[in-house]
Amino acid sequence: MIYVTLRYASDRELKTLAGKAGLERTHATGLLVASAIFFVLGAYGLVFSALYDPGLIPLIALSVVSLVTGVGVFLSRRFGLWLTLLLFPLGIVEAIATLLYSVTLTGWYPNNTVAAFNASLILYAVGLVLALLLVADKRSQLK
């Protein structure tokens, strides 16, 4: 039986409770940040395709893979690493090609909407790089 009290449990007590319940505590903050990045990137792609053009099948596919990758990394599963390695080059090519097309067609800053879109593509690429580095750094903690 578990009793709820108003005091905080100590680290030793938490480890004891985790051991009894068969739970594992992870200290992989990098994996949590990487999974959050993948969730944000996947949501961004799905929202963008829903607002702009639902026929953007490659963007929808990359967004769904990004969400699945976020789940895999969050659960510390090895398939999260493999999906990260698959998603990275495809996502970078997609972001750079879209940014190049946007800049060639309209320029960097013709209005605030295009500037925000171009900035979002740069943040998308930076997020992919950061998530790849975080997952690669914590790959030994993946099961």
3-state secondary structure of 126: helix
What is the pTM assigned to this prediction? 0.79
pLDDT value for 142: 83
pLDDT in tens, 96-140: 999 999 999 998 888 899 999 999 999 999 999 999 999 999 988
Give the mean pLDDT of 58-72.
95
Interatomic CA distance for residues 76 and 140, integer angstroms: 10
Residues whose CB falls within 8 Å of the CB of residue 25, separated by 6 or more in sequence, listed in order? 14, 15, 18
131 Cα distance to chain centroid:
6
Mean pLDDT of the residues in the chain? 86
Under a CB-based contact definition with an 8 Å cutoff, are residues 135 and 80 in contact?
yes
Interatomic CA distance for residues 78 and 5, integer angstroms: 37
Q: Is the pLDDT of residue 65 over 90?
A: yes
81-101 exposure pattern, b = at least 16 Cβ within 10 A, e = fewer: bebbeebbeebeebbeebbee
Under a CB-based contact definition with an 8 Å cutoff, are residues 69 and 83 in contact?
yes
pLDDT value for 23: 45
Residues whose CB falls within 8 Å of the CB of residue 114, separated by 6 or more in sequence, listed in order? 102, 106, 107, 108
